[in-house]
Amino acid sequence: SQQGEEDPQALSIQEGENATMNCSYKTSINNLQWYRQNSGRGLVHLILIRSNEREKHSGRLRVTLDTSKKSSSLLITASRAADTASYFCATATSGTYKYIFGTGTRLKVLA
């Protein structure tokens, strides 16, 4: 399995609910990033959390990082239909710029 695996693969929720997706990775990292991709379009950077940070907020997004478990979670609160997209985590092994993206979580928010 590859570095940066997201779980679940797909998630369907009602508007207003919270969405949580998880990412696991394998090596030591400098930082972990989350990206969003609307169908067939380029990825958009959401948030970056450094390896010495445990939690970070940006608007309705909350990211946690547990380096001991090599895992991260992305929480989207009060979801909206516009949040429907695929979400990817990306990591780069410490000392490299070779970024590995996971296979993504497909989020569908129902109005």
Partner 1 sequence: DSGVTQTPKHLITATGQRVTLRCSPRSGDLSVYWYQQSLDQGLQFLIQYYNGEERAKGNILERFSAQQFPDLHSELNLSSLELGDSALYFCASSVAVPGAGTDTQYFGPGTRLTVL
Q: Helix, strand or coil for residue 82? A: helix
Q: Give the strand pairing for 29-37 and 85-93.
A: antiparallel
Query: In terms of CB distance, is 63 or 100 closer to partner 1?
Result: 100
| Smallest gap from residue 74 Cβ to partner 1 (A) | 16
Instruction: Say if residues 21 and 64 touch (Cβ distance below 8 Å).
Output: no
Interface residues with partner 1 (CB under 8 A) are 2, 30-31, 33, 35, 40-45, 48, 50-51, 88, 90, 92, 96-104
Indicate the residue among 100 and 107 with the shorter CB distance to partner 1.
100
The pair of structure tokens assigned to 39 is 């169908």
The distance of closest approach from Cβ of residue 9 to partner 1 in the complex, given in angstroms and rounded to an integer, is 11
Angstrom distance (rounded) from CA 23 to CA 27? 13
Would you say 8 or 16 has its CB closer to partner 1? 8
